Amino acid sequence: MSDWWKSAVIYQVYPRSFQDTTGNGVGDLQGITKRLDHIASLGVDVVWLSPIFTSPQADMGYDISDHCDVDPLFGTLDDFDALLSRAHELGLKVIVDQVPSHTSDKHRWFEESRQSRDNPKADWYVWAEAKPDGSPPNNWLSVFGGPAWTWEPRRKQYFLHSFLSSQPQMNFHNPDVEAAILDTMKFWLDRGIDGFRLDSINYPFHDPQLRDNPPREDATDDEWVNPYNVQRHVYDKTRPETVGFLKNVRTLLDQYEGTMSVGEVGEGRGAATIMGEYTKGDDRLHMAYSFEMLGGAFTAKFFRDAIGGFFREAPDGWPCWAFSNHDVIRHVSRWEVDHRDTDALARQGIALMVSLEGTKCLYQGEELGQTETELSYDEIVDPPGLKFWPEYKGRDGCRTPMVWEENADNAGFTTGEPWLPVKPEQAHRAVDTQDGVAGSVLEHYRTVLGFYRDMPALRIGTSEFLEPGEPVLAVRRCCDEGEVLCVFNLSCNPVTLKVDGAATPLGPSCGTLTEDRLELPAHGFVWLDGKDLLVTL
């Protein structure tokens, strides 16, 4: 069907950390191809590859120096074609990261642009004059720390970078820039991919007047760890012109039947409104996600407000939900505060994910109940982690290698020295310790995703949140084929609820129903079949 993506489950692969076949300690495309059967066995629909393009790897591939080739670190275009072919044989679609807002400073476009003010690419990046005292043109800051401006002596101007100084910002007010980015997307679509994940999609446009961002009066002491957090980013990103670019992306994708797009909204506040604006109707992105669900409190109110709030603010938009990815602490470790059983949290996590209205996205290792890796300062490589340590330890803890065989060197990831260490706590959760083992997190994921496939109400049903009270989250999913009440105990203590109506537990529920009483253990959950059911504490 044309909107297949609405009920899809996406599996994110972080190529550096999935499987190394060369012994250089870094994962590669042949390694991903080797492990596609594992991904297919989960029952997911789509593989999302984090960046594989040619890059100096200053930001682990999000600093692209050639949009239309594979970095030798990962392999070749032939390796990519083989991966794509095998994935399609297994019934898996493949999407790749696209980074439209910036490039590497080693990209040929920027190398030309920085030479002078009058070359053919002079206006392809955001350049600005210094203030009379030589300081940057305004108060914009980099996400990775410090001013968002770096001086270029050849042009005697500053260039803008929202991230590293080696990631210069492209000037999307120049139509040639947009055309060039769309051409790079066409390159991969012609190769047969099934769509894109668009990185930092609210960043491409900036305010041409370069007005200062205002302060955030409600910034907390914790947010002051990085001053970027204490500005209201009204001029350096999320500009109204972005919607026009998204429409052009959709026009391109509509020329390739069955393709889709998912945009990352890099915004912690008001993200639902932006997600709705970027996905409403049928002429913009297919869906979007933000960091709202990748953080926040582990409470019924948080989930109710996040999901319910999106559909209230964007009734004709579409969300993609994830609990973990390559940028945040793994969710079982985030949620573990005051919780004792990470495996129970992992099992509840996938049950909760399939019960939420929207597309679902899983991150590699999540299906193993993988926890955040504790790293020392000398083990990390992530630029913001190095800069803001120890208050912010960076993103490496969620990026450590995938574990395949507990007792093999580096848990089967590489025969060499891994780019990030494999530690015993992570190796203990290896695939070979869980595959085929009843009750393991891995087998639970397979069971729950199979159950999801067979439940129309979960795949296409609308949502109605009930409010039985903390710590219980309850959401009714309804469609023409039936309805299901999904109930979750978000605490580490058992709870008892009263059920109003004739109910029958469904699928791999973790709870006990006796007449009108529902017993849920710590992190228990249940799907109930029945019409207009209510639950109360």
Query: Looking at the annotation, which residues are catalytic?
Result: 199, 264
Place of tokens 């210069």: 168
- For 76-93, the DSSP string reads -HHHHHHHHHHHHHTT-E
- The rounded distance, in Å, linking the Cα atoms of 71 and 28 is 10
530, 500 contact by CB (below 8 A): no
Instruction: State the CB neighbour count (10 A cutoff) for residue 470.
Output: 13
Cβ contact 327:399 at 8 Å: no
**Which are the contacts of 451, defined by CB distance < 8 A and separation ≥ 6?**
354, 506, 507, 508, 527
d(CA 256, CA 491): 46
CA dihedral 168, 173, 179, 184 (to 10 degrees): 20
Please name the residue that has the structure tokens 């994708």. Answer: 253
Give the CA radius of gyration of the chain: 23
- 241: how many CB neighbours lie within 10 A of its CB? 14
Q: Smallest Cα–Cα separation from 380: which of 329, 413, 418, 420?
A: 420
Question: Exposed, middle or buried: residue 130 (CB in 10 Å: 0-12, 13-18, 19+)?
Answer: middle
Question: SS3 for 3?
Answer: coil
**286/465 Cα distance (integer angstroms):** 24
Query: Strand locations in 305-385, DSSP E?
Result: 320-322, 359-363
Nearest to 327 by CA among 498, 108, 144: 144
**Extended beta strands in 372-530, E state:** 462-466, 472-479, 482-489, 495-500, 504-510, 512-514, 517-520, 525-529
